[in-house]
């Protein structure tokens, strides 16, 4: 009991063994350590996630955990040696030794697990996010910008389809002060794309028309086209040409600066959903899926596996690209709400492996703490969506001025503290596939 008590409060066994000064000193150290940990998890709780994406702090955290665990284990063993039964009490010695070893394991095993998670986190950050850029001011990481815009791409690099086609193109525009987010969806079959001024526009002054029957000139071809034609973005190394041109192009289309991009391979997307135990969505109409129509997702609210979620977001059987775009945003909305910390933690090792394998991005390490802080603000807001699809936009002959005007109005409405409630048009499913104003995803996807 004294050994067990010393594991809960350092120094108890020492006081019982008439080593009062040592016991009181251990109690004081323990209480100070406990107060420090409680302060860290209360007063600085909002900063903990930010520290978790900084490799330097991950090392500090790992070292601190190991030192505390070793000190704790040392106190337990020291306490046991002071109060253990006499050598003649064989049964007592065996039982108390077993208890002491169990207490040490209770301290060391979680520490080893936490150190493992810390190592994996550091490995993911170093593998996925580049470093070496300019320092980001903590008080103004977005340099006074009202919105920061992230380009989210879903790519298909399946066998038989050489290269990467970005079939899902969405810009998440996040208010830097409130976290309010609007998703702007661009259809993959958008044509006559206007490139920004430079070599790409010089090559296609009348709009992107592709290069032969394999590239008819759609939005989803630009990423790979840039990779295959270095003259489109001269001076940019292979592997970065596609991201550079698609970011510039989407910025030109929407009239807002795209700061960063993230591309996920569709196959990896399905595996990541499986890793977190699936995703729950509401299916409004039955969805046929599979290359040979071998599957069916019935209507209703249900939890989908990774493969089913992938088809939920990609199937065009008995529908079209625009309905599919609406489902993709509902899927993003559901994932954002359901990926709670415990779910992610339980699947962390597998998610870390999949992240390194299937995701690419140009978000630098120095910006990650600000991105994490922004994501926490986003959780308390309702995500909205505006898709540039027919009848709002003719994908074969887009009205670029209208697109930019709609974006500006949507962001102004997002920023306004009070104003006319944003609702979907009363039609179904046209409220999802062709809205004339942003719609709240909570209402649209339910």
Please state which of the ranges 70-79, 184-193, 292-301, 380-389 shows the lowest mean pLDDT.
292-301
Please state which of the ranges 64-68, 165-169, 255-259, 379-383 shows the lowest mean pLDDT.
379-383
Q: What is the mean pLDDT of residues 196-209?
A: 93
Q: What is the mean pLDDT of residues 127-132?
A: 86
pLDDT at 258 over 50: yes
Helices (H), 52-195: 55-83, 90-128
Q: Which of 172, 83, 175 is nearest to 415 (CA)?
A: 175
Q: Which helix (H) or strand (E) holds 267?
A: helix 266-275
Q: What is the mean pLDDT of residues 154-170?
A: 75
Q: What is the mean pLDDT of residues 283-311?
A: 84
Burial state string for 94-133 with b = 16 or more CB within 10 A and e = fewer than 16? eebeebbeebbeebeeebeeebebbebbbebbeebbeeee
Please, which pLDDT band fits residue 426 given cuts at 50, 70 and 90?
very low
pLDDT at 428 over 70: no
Q: What is the pLDDT of residue 251?
A: 96
* Percent of the chain residues past pLDDT 70, beyond the cut: 90
pLDDT at 406 over 90: yes
Strand residue runs (E) in 202-284: 260-265, 279-283
Q: What is the mean pLDDT of residues 291-312?
A: 84
Q: Which of 43, 74, 45, 48 is nearest to 61 (CA)?
A: 48
Q: What is the pLDDT of residue 74?
A: 95
Placement of tokens 């609210």 in the chain: 301
Q: What is the pLDDT of residue 158?
A: 53
Placement of tokens 């299937």 in the chain: 358
Q: Name the 3-class secondary structure at 414.
A: helix
Q: Is 414 left (phi over 0), alpha (psi -120 to 50) or beta?
A: alpha
What CA–CA distance (Å, rounded) separates 251 from 404?
A: 10
Q: Of 320 and 127, which is predicted with more confidence? A: 127
Query: pLDDT for 211-247, tens place per residue?
Result: 877 778 999 999 999 999 999 999 999 989 999 999 9
Rounded to 10 deg, the angle between the 266-275 and 306-314 helix axes is 140
Q: Which of 231, 222, 228, 224 is nearest to 251 (CA)?
A: 222
Record the tokens describing residue 21, joined without a space.
Answer: 């000064």
The pTM of the full predicted model, rounded to 2 decimals, is 0.80
Q: Which residues contact 139 (CB under 8 A, 6 or more apart)?
A: none
Please, which pLDDT band fits residue 433 given cuts at 50, 70 and 90?
very low
What CA–CA distance (Å, rounded) separates 251 from 202?
A: 18
Q: Which residues contact 245 (CB under 8 A, 6 or more apart)?
A: 195, 200, 222, 223, 225, 226, 232, 233
Q: What is the pLDDT of residue 104?
A: 95
Please, which pLDDT band fits residue 430 given cuts at 50, 70 and 90?
very low
Q: Name the 3-class secondary structure at 27.
A: helix
Cβ neighbour number for residue 341 with a 10 Å cutoff? 8
Q: Which residues pair with 440 in a beta bridge?
A: 384
Please, which pLDDT band fits residue 315 given cuts at 50, 70 and 90?
confident
Q: Say if CB 130 and CB 96 are below 8 A apart.
A: no
What CA–CA distance (Å, rounded) separates 167 from 187?
A: 8
């Amino acid at each position: 009991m004294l050994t067990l008590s010393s594991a809960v409060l350092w120094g108890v066994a020492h006081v019982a063994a008439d080593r009062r000064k040592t016991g009181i000193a251990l109690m004081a150290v323990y209480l100070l350590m406990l107060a420090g940990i409680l302060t860290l998890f209360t007063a600085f709780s909002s900063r903990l996630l930010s520290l978790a994406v900084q490799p330097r702090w991950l090392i500090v955290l790992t070292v601190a955990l190991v030192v505390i665990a070793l000190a704790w284990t040392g106190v337990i063993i020291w306490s046991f040696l002071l109060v253990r039964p006499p050598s003649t009490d064989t049964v007592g010695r065996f039982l108390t030794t077993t208890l002491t070893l169990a207490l040490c394991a209770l301290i060391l095993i979680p520490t080893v697990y936490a150190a493992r998670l810390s190592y994996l986190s550091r490995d993911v950050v170093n593998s996925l996010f580049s470093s070496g850029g300019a320092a980001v001011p903590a008080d103004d990481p977005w340099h006074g910008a009202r919105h920061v815009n992230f380009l989210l791409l879903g790519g298909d690099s399946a066998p038989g389809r050489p290269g990467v086609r970005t079939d899902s193109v969405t810009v998440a525009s996040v208010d830097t002060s409130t976290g309010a987010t609007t998703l702007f969806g661009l259809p993959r079959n958008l044509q006559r794309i206007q490139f920004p001024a430079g070599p790409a526009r010089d090559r296609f002054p009348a709009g992107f028309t592709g290069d032969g029957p394999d590239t008819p000139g759609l939005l989803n071809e630009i990423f790979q086209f840039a990779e295959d034609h270095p003259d489109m973005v001269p001076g940019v190394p292979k592997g970065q040409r596609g991201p550079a041109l698609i970011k510039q192009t989407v910025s030109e289309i929407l009239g807002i600066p795209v700061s960063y991009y993230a591309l996920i391979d569709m196959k990896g997307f399905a595996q990541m959903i499986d890793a977190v135990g699936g995703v729950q969505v509401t299916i409004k109409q039955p969805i046929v899926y599979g290359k040979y129509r071998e599957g069916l997702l019935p209507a209703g609210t249900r939890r989908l596996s990774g493969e089913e979620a992938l088809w939920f977001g990609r199937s065009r059987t008995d529908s079209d690209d625009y309905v599919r775009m609406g489902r993709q945003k509902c899927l993003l909305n559901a994932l954002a709400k359901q990926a709670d910390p415990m779910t992610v933690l339980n699947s962390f090792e597998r998610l870390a492996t999949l992240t390194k394998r299937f995701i690419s991005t140009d978000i630098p390490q120095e910006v990650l703490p600000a991105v994490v802080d922004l994501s926490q603000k986003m959780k308390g807001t309702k995500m909205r969506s505006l898709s540039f699809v027919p009848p709002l936009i003719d994908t074969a002959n887009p009205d670029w001025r209208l697109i930019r005007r709609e974006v500006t109005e949507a962001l102004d409405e997002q920023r306004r503290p009070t104003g006319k409630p944003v609702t979907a048009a009363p039609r179904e499913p046209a409220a999802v596939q062709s809205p004339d104003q942003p719609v709240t995803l909570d209402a649209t996807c339910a």
